[in-house]
Amino acid sequence: MHGYHLQHGDVSTLISPSSARTSGGIVSTVDDVATFHRALFTGRLLPARQMRELGTVRPVNDEGVVEDYGLGVARIAFSCGYAWGHDGGFPGYRTWTYTSADGRRQAVITYNASGLESGEKFRADLGKAAETAFCA
């Protein structure tokens, strides 16, 4: 995927991912992210004690959105149940992941980051897309 930014066009080769240090040190696909999250949230990567710690969350205000957040992961309520996941981004890129605890439901949404993200309509549309993708 090429990263496009509203004001700068294609930023794929303008900014080195290494500028983000270790978070930019992994190149992966949507399938890679889905596979990792399915293994993580279904308990195949961590011992039971660490899984309990991972699943311990508290309400956190993230840019005006209150979510249940724990050790680097969020618990998101959908109409069909809870998802576990995380969001992340880099100039031109944005990804949201959602995986059920049993691994049967999963959605990974990735798109080009821009200033539109902070708008209420964009957030509402993203929420509807996540609900549909995760619960369908």
For the cut 90, the answer to whether the pLDDT of residue 31 exceeds it is yes
Residue-wise pLDDT tens digits, 38-74:
999 999 999 999 999 999 999 999 777 788 999 989 9
Question: Cα–Cα–Cα angle for 38, 21, 61, nearest 5°?
Answer: 60
What is the residue-averaged pLDDT of the chain? 89
Q: Which structural domains are found in the chain, ordered by start?
A: 4-135 (3.40.710.10)
CA distances from 82 to 72, 73, 77, 86, 105 (A): 16, 13, 5, 13, 10
d(CA 83, CA 80) in angstroms, rounded, equals 9
Tell me what pLDDT residue 24 has. Answer: 65
> Could you tell me which residue, 123 or 26, shows the higher pLDDT?
123
Tell me what pLDDT residue 110 has. Answer: 92
